[in-house]
Amino acid sequence: MDMKLRFGVVAIFSSFMTLSACGGGGGGSSDASASNSRSTTGPITAFGSVYVNGNRYVTDNADVYIEDELADESDLRVGMMVTVVEDSNGDAASISFDDDLEGIVTGVDTAAGTIDVMGQTVTATNETIFESDVASITNPSQIQAGNIIEVSGYSSGTGAISATRIEVKAVDLASYLSTNPEGIEVKGVVMGHSASASEFNLGSMTVDYSGAVLSDLPAGIDNGIYVEVKSTQGLDAADRLIAARVEREGDGSIEHEGDENEEYEFSGIIMAVGVDTITVNSEVVTITEDTEIENDGQGPLAVGDEVEIEAYFDNNGDLIATEIEREEADSSQLELMGTIDTITSTDINIGTITMVDGVVILVNNDTLMHDSQDQGVMPDIRFNLSDLMSGDYIEVYATDNGDGTYTAVKIERDDMPAVAATAG
C-alpha cells in the first residue's frame, strides 16, 4: 500500500480568524427542533440509515427537507450538512438540509487551497467530498472562475466556509440557468447595509437589491439578519451580485435556537476562544467546570480546531457544553492507497479492513464513506462498509493508532489506477 503524510489545508484557520463571526452552523433548519428534546447538526458520513456525528439514525419514519421543501431520503448525499431531529426512540423524526451557497466561482487560489465563490472563501480539507455534474471537471484542481458550484460545510456566516461537500453544477451561469431558472443563491449575515444605495455585503461581496423582491422581511433589511439571496443576472461590471430575491432565513438568526434543556450535538471549527466560551462555526458555547474535554493532551482549545460538541440550552437560551471532543487535524492524517484483501465487520459501518500488503484499517461510525467509481459502473450513493469487497481499490485518510493499525477518517472507493492494474 502506498503511504504518505498528508498535510491538510490550513487556509481555513486564517480565513476564520480574519472574518468576524456572528452566527450558527452550516446545515439544516433549526426551527424544526423547537419542540423536541434532542437534535444534531453535522455532515452525513455514510448510509444504511443515515450517519451523522457518529450516530446511526433509523430513517423509516423521518421527514426529509431540502431547502425547506419536502424531499426523499434518496436525495441526500454524503458530505451534506444536515440537522437531524430525534424522536422519543432516538430515531430520526426529520432531516433537514440547506446548502450554504450555489454560485459563481470568482477566483481560485491554488497556493492557499481556497476557492472564492461570490464573497465566500471556501476551503477544502481531507474530508471534503467532491462530486461533479460536469464531465470535464473531475477533481477540485480543475475548478475555474465562472464555474457554478454548490457548497455545504462549516460556515461562519460572514464569508468563510470549511467545505464538507463541493459539487460542480455547471460550467457557467448560462448553462446553469438552462436547468435552474430560479437562479444561483448564497446565504449569509447582512453587513454594511446602505438603504440609500440598496446595497449590503455578504462576506466580501456587495449585493445590489434595488430590483429584488424582499420576502419575509417585515422590518426590511438590516445588519445582522441571516438571509438568502437569489440571482438570475449574476455579477455586474463592478462584480456586485444583482439580487432577484432576498429572503430571511428562518427567524433571521444563523444560530441554532432551542428550548430549555434541549440537547444539541454538532460539529464544526473553532473560530474564537474566550475566557469561558468558544465560538464554533458561529455558535457561542459556554464551557463550565463540568465540561468534559476529550483529547485534552493536545493543549488548550484553539482557533482552527475541529470539534464535536454535546451541549444543552439553559433557561437563558445559552448553549452549555457537556462534552467537547477535538478531532485529529488534517496535518496528522496519513493518506493510504491500495487493494483490499479481507473485510471483517461487526455492524453496517463498523469493522476491519486488511489490505493485500497487511496494513490494517479500522472503520467506525465516524468514518466518511464515499464511492467514486465511474469506469463501467455507477457509484453507489448509499455506500457503506458492507458494500466493499476483496479486490476493491480504496484511498483512505487515516490516523495512526501507534499499534500497527490505522483508524479511517475517510474511505473513498475508486477505480484501479492504470499503473496498478497493469502491474497486477
Domain match, 240 and 344 both:
no
Structural contact between residues 90 and 100, judged by C-beta atoms closer than 8 angstroms:
no
> If DSSP states are collapsed to H, E and C, what string results for the chain?
CEEEECCCCCHHHHHHHHCCCCCCCCCCCCHHHCCCCEEEEEEEEEECCEEECCEEECCCCCEEEECCEEECHHHCCCCCEEEEEECCCCCEEEEEECCCEEEEEEEEECCCCEEEECCEEEEEEEEEEEEECCCCCCCHHHCCCCCEEEEEEEECCCCEEEEEEEEEEECCHHHHHHHCCCCEEEEEECEEEECCCCEEEECCEEEECCCCEEECCCCCCCCCCEEEEEECCCECCCCCEECCEEEECCCCCCCCCCCCCCEEEEEEEEEEECCCEEEECCEEEECCCCCEEECHHHCCCCCCCEEEEEEEECCCCCEEEEEEEECCCHHHCEEEEEEEEEEEEEECCEEEEEECCCCEEEECCCCEEEECCCCCCCCCCCCCHHHCCCCCEEEEEEEECCCCEEEEEEEEEECCCHHHHHHC
Cα of 349 vs its chain's centroid, Å? 20
| 270 found inside a domain | no
Residues 242 and 353 grouped into a single domain: no
Task: Indicate whether 215 and 111 sit together in one domain.
Answer: yes
> Given 208, 230, 248, which residue is the final one in a domain?
248
Answer whether residue 92 is part of any domain.
no
Examine the domain organization and report whether 221 and 340 are in the same domain: no
Are 347 and 212 within one domain?
no
Same-domain check for residues 210 and 343:
no
The domain in which residue 142 lies consists of: 101-248
Find the CATH number of the domain harbouring 339: 2.40.50.140
Instruction: Say how many domains are in the chain.
Output: 2
pLDDT in tens, the chain (424 residues): 444 333 333 444 444 444 433 333 333 333 433 444 899 999 999 999 999 999 999 999 999 999 999 999 999 999 999 999 999 999 999 999 999 999 999 999 988 889 999 999 999 999 999 999 999 999 899 999 999 999 999 999 999 999 999 999 999 999 999 999 999 999 999 999 999 999 999 999 999 999 999 999 999 999 999 999 999 999 999 999 999 999 999 889 998 888 899 999 999 999 999 999 999 998 999 999 999 998 756 788 999 999 999 999 999 999 999 999 998 777 789 999 999 999 999 999 999 999 999 999 999 999 999 999 876 667 899 999 999 999 999 999 999 999 999 999 999 999 988 655 433 4
The verdict on 107 and 209 lying in the same domain is yes
Q: Assess if residue 198 is contained within a domain.
A: yes
CB atoms within 10 A of CB 292: 11
39 located within any domain: no
Cell of 3: 503511504
Residues 387, 333: Cα–Cα separation, whole Å: 24
**How far is CA 227 from its chain centroid?**
19
Q: Domain boundary at 192, 223, 248, which?
A: 248
Q: Which of 214, 248, 282 is the last residue of a domain?
A: 248
Q: Tell me the per-residue pLDDT of 142-179, one tens digit each, with 9 for 90 and over.
A: 999 999 999 999 999 999 999 999 999 999 999 999 99
Q: Is residue 162 part of a domain?
A: yes
| 111 plus 237 within the same structural domain | yes
Domain annotation covers residue 415:
yes
* Total number of residues shown for the chain: 424
Q: Which residues contact 275 (CB under 8 A, 6 or more apart)?
A: none
What is the 3-class SS of 294-355, one letter each residue? Answer: ECHHHCCCCCCCEEEEEEEECCCCCEEEEEEEECCCHHHCEEEEEEEEEEEEEECCEEEEEE
Which residues touch 55 (CB under 8 Å, ≥6 apart)?
A: 40, 84, 265, 365
Residue in this structure with the C-alpha cell 462530486, named with its chain if needed: 131
337 lies in the same domain as 244:
no
- How far is it between the farthest Cα atoms of the chain? 69
Tell me if 52 is assigned to some domain.
Answer: no
Q: Please say whether the beta carbons of 157 and 120 come within 8 A.
A: no
Residue 266 belongs to some domain of the structure? no
Residue 242 and residue 135 share a domain: yes
